[in-house]
Amino acid sequence: MPKTLTEKLTTLKAAKKGIFVPYIMAGDHAKGLDGLAETIHFLEDLGVSAIEVGVPFSDPVADGPVIEEAGLRSLAHGTSTQALVETLKTIETEVPLVIMTYFNPLFQYGVEKFVKDLSDTAVKGLIIPDLPHEHANFVEPFLANTDIALISLVSLTTGIERQKN
């Protein structure tokens, strides 16, 4: 398996293979977090390129109704950031995982601790949709010596100059 998410996606692009990265909400399973490994391995067997794993949050301002409902179901199952991290430590997969979390759960857990706890797992990317690009320097130093990339989001309305930064 390529060491980083960039290497994985670059390899697929060079081979002219499609890239498919499904999103799943951690804990939104009949078995709660106990079903996460099963879901990841199911998707791995289907040949996905990577898997985006959502961290449930009670105030998901950037999510639509489907992901918001998935997060609420996950929280109802008792999913916490701590429990998710502990679960991810036990999952062995060749598919890179990308964590999508709001900054609040990350801050509450501790950014440095979160990155350290996940640095030896299959997690290769981190998306924080409510972290302004100008504040990425709050997270980036903790990622510097890991294989975890901070992934910025852009939209159709994001200006070219901002995309370059």
d(CA 8, CA 19): 10
Listed in sequence order, the residues at least 6 apart from 163 whose beta carbon sits closer than 8 Å to its beta carbon are 154
Catalytic residue ranges: 52, 63
Return the HEC string of the chain: CCCCHHHHHHHHHHCCCCCCCCEEECCCCCCHHHHHHHHHHHHHHHCCCCEEEECCCCCCCCCCHHHHHHHHHHHHCCCCHHHHHHHHHHCCCCCCEEEECCHHHHHHHCHHHHHHHHCCCCEEEEECCCCCHHHHHHCHHHHCCCCCEEECCCCCCCCHHHHHC
Q: Which single residue is written with the structure tokens 């994001």?
A: 158
